Structure 1
Amino acid sequence: MRRLILTENITLDGVIDASGGWFGPGGSDPDADESDILEELKRQMAEEQALLLGRVTFEELRGYWPAHAGEPDGIGDHLNAVPKYVVSRTLGDPAWANTTVLRGRVEDEVRALKAGAGGPIGMTGSVTLARTLTAAGLIDEYRLFVYPVVLGGGARLFPDGTALPRLEPVQTERFRSGVVLLRYRVGRG
C-alpha cells in the first residue's frame, strides 16, 4: 500500500493558511538563506511518486509552477512531470499535464489511490483536504516545516477537537533560517 505523506509549512501556533502573507512560493523571507530547506524539499519530492491536492491549492500551484519549468532548482520540472491528483467536484479541464481529477467521495478516492501501484504520495497545502484525511486516518506521515512566526489566528492544521493516533517521531532538523522540520509517522499499534 502506498503511503500518503502530508508536508506543510506551519507557524508556531499551528496556522497553515498562507493568506496572511507569512509564506509564499519562495519561502517566508526573501532575504533569508533557505537553500538548506530547498535541498530538503527536493530530496522529499524525489521520493514522492504522485501529488495529491485540493482544488484551491491545485489552482494556486497551476498558476505559478508551469511557468517555472527549466529553472535550476528543478521544482517546476518535477511538478509538471509528476502525476497529480486533485480532489474536486467543480473543476473542469485541469489544464496541467499529468493531472487526474478525483470527483467521488474523498475518503474512497484516496483509499483507492493508496491501494494502487506506485510509491509514496505527497500532499501539501489543501487545508480542508488535510483535515478530512486526518480525520479519516488516511495520512501516514506528517512533515511540518515550522516557521518561527506567531499569527494569533488563521486556518490551523489541527483545529480544536482534532484527535490523532499516536505519532512516532522520525526526524527533527533545524535550518539556518530558524525553520525546524518535525517529521512524524502515524503509529498503527
Structure 2
Amino acid sequence: MRDLIVTQNITVDGVIEAGDWFGPADGGPEVLEALREQMARADAFLTGRVTFEQMRGFWPAQTDDPTGVSAYLNQVQKYVVSSTLQEPGWKPTTILRNLDEVRRLKENPGRDIVCTGSIDLTHQLIAANLVDEYRLFIYPTVVATGQRLFPDGSPQTLTLTSSTTFPSGVVLLTYRP
C-alpha cells in the first residue's frame, strides 16, 4: 500500500493559505534540495480542482524554472479529486470523483502520493484518515490570518519522525499519525 503524504508550506502560526510569505525558492537552496528529494520519492501528485486549475495555468508555461518544480509537475501522474472537472487539459492527469477512488489509488502499487496545497481536499483527507504522513515546511513567519492545516474540531496525535533546520530558518518537520 502506498503512502499518502501531505506536504505543506506553513507559517509558524499554522496557516497554509498561500500569500506573499511564500515562494518556491524562498527557503533557499537547501529547501529546494529537500523538495527535489521528495519529488524523487513520489510518482503521483494529488490535488483538488481549484489548486489543479491554478497550477495548470502557471507551471506548464515556466520554461526556465530553476527549481525543477515545473519539469516534475509536467511529467508526474497527476490525480485531481473533482466532481465537476471534465477535461483536465494537462497530461498526464486522471480525475478521481471521490475519496473512495483516492483510497483505491493508495492500494495500487507505486511510490508516494503527494498532496500539496488543496486546502479543502487536505481537510477531507484528514477527516477520512487517509493521510499517512505530514511533511511540513515551517516558514519563520506569522500572518495571523488564513486557513490552517488542521481545521477546528480535528484533533490529531502525531509522532515526529524527523526534523531538519535549514539556514534560511525554515524547518522541515515530518510526522506520522
Q: 1:36 and 1:181 mapped to 2: Cα distance?
A: 11
1:130 deviates by: 0.6
> Is structure 2 residue 77 aligned with structure 1 residue 83?
yes
Q: Which runs of 5+ in 1 are unaligned?
A: 28-32
Equivalent position of 1:121 in the other structure: 113
Equivalent position of 1:9 in the other structure: 9
| TM-score normalised over the length of structure 2 | 0.94
From 132, 135, 141, the counterpart of 2:124: 132
Contact 2:8 2:117 in 1 (8 A): yes
From 127, 141, 147, the counterpart of 1:149: 141
Contact 2:88 2:95 in 1 (8 A): yes
Q: Residue 153 of structure 2 aligns to a residue in which SS?
A: coil
Contact 2:9 2:136 in 1 (8 A): yes
Equivalent position of 2:23 in the other structure: 24
| TM-score normalised over the length of structure 1 | 0.88
Q: 1:25 and 1:67 mapped to 2: Cα distance?
A: 16
| Code of the aligned partner of 1:76 | S
Please give the per-residue CA displacement for 1:141-187, whole angstroms capped at 9, x wherever unaligned: 000001111111110111221122x322111111111111111112x
Contact 1:85 1:99 in 2 (8 A): yes
1:25 deviates by: 4.1
Contact 2:160 2:175 in 1 (8 A): yes
| Code of the aligned partner of 1:176 | P
Q: 2:14 and 2:67 mapped to 1: Cα distance?
A: 28
% same residue: 55
Equivalent position of 1:30 in the other structure: none
Q: Residue 85 of structure 1 aligns to a residue in which SS?
A: strand
Q: Residue 56 of structure 1 aligns to a residue in which SS?
A: helix
From 142, 158, 162, the counterpart of 1:167: 158
Task: Say how many residue pairs are matched.
Answer: 177
